Structure 1
Amino acid sequence: MLVRDAMSTLVLTIGPAHTLRQAARLMSARRVGAAVVFDPDDTGIGILTERDILNSLGRGQDPDLETAGAHTTTDVVFAGPVWTLQDAAEAMSHGGFRHLIVLDRGEPAGIVSVRDIIRCWAPSRRAAQPV
């Protein structure tokens, strides 16, 4: 199975000036654990995850003052849509992260998470129940 078969194509994109509270509200409303951070004045694409927000709160930082740009991971490992799920899982395991931005022709096409991979590899609860 390929990344394109498992990834979510609903990509939440925010700017670096969004506060962490704004980012958290948007992530919660969309029920996603990560947002792509795009800065039109910069050349890179970054990612902000629920863990980044949690770490900031744990340090006692104010989510209304802290910006997404200050907490964005910019040394991102990107996946391709034709990567295998094994390739994605190995990249996540090696890098210690739970989300990969999927780029297609240099543009964000989706996000694949550990949960997406597990959903594809593990049988669903309904299918696993005896008849």
Structure 2
Amino acid sequence: MLVRDAMSTVVLTIGPAHTLRQAARLMAARRVGAAVVLDSDTCGVGILTERDILTSVGTGEDPDLECAGTHTTTDVVFAAPAWTLDEAAEAMCHGGFRHLIVMDDKEPVGIVSVRDIIRCWAPSRRQHSTLVGSP
């Protein structure tokens, strides 16, 4: 199975000036764990995750004053829609993160998370376990 089959194509995008509270509200409302941060001034694409927000709040920063751009990861590993889910999972394990922005023609076209990969793998893994465990 490929990343294009597992990725979410409706991606939450925010700007670097969004506060962390605004970003958290949008992420909670859409039930997603990450937002793509588009910075038109730098033509950059970054990612802000719930972990980034948690780290900021946990260190005493004010989520109403801190901006997404300050906490955005810009050293991002991007996935291609044609990657296999194994390739995406390997990139996540190697990098220690749970989301990959999916890029096609230098544009973000989706986001794939660990949860998306597990959701795709679970039915085939259960079927495989059932077949293997059958007498």
* TM over 0.5, shorter chain: yes
Shift of residue 44 of structure 1?
1.4
For 2:104 and 2:29, how far apart are their aligned partners in 1?
A: 26
Pair 1:15-2:15 in alignment: yes
Shift of residue 64 of structure 1?
0.1
Deviations 1:7-30 (A, max 9, x none): 000100000000000000000111
Secondary structure in structure 2 of the residue aligned to 1:48: strand
The residue number in structure 1 matching 2:28 is 28
Structure with greater proportional helix content: 2
For 2:75 and 2:44, how far apart are their aligned partners in 1?
A: 9
State the AA in 2 paired with 1:55: T
TM-score by length of 2: 0.91
TM-score by length of 1: 0.93
Pair 1:54-2:54 in alignment: yes
For 2:85 and 2:69, how far apart are their aligned partners in 1?
A: 29
Unmatched 5+ residue regions in structure 1? none
Deviations 1:92-115 (A, max 9, x none): 000000000000111000000000
Secondary structure in structure 1 of the residue aligned to 2:46: strand
The residue number in structure 1 matching 2:115 is 115
Unmatched 5+ residue regions in structure 2? 130-135
The residue number in structure 2 matching 1:4 is 4
Runs of 4+ in 1 over 6 A off after TM superposition: none
Deviations 1:75-107 (A, max 9, x none): 000000000000000000000000000001110
Structure with higher Rg: it is 2
The residue number in structure 1 matching 2:106 is 106
Pair 1:88-2:88 in alignment: yes
For 2:104 and 2:43, how far apart are their aligned partners in 1?
A: 16
RMSD: 1.4
Percent identical pairs in the alignment equals 81
Pair 1:42-2:42 in alignment: yes
Shift of residue 43 of structure 1?
2.2
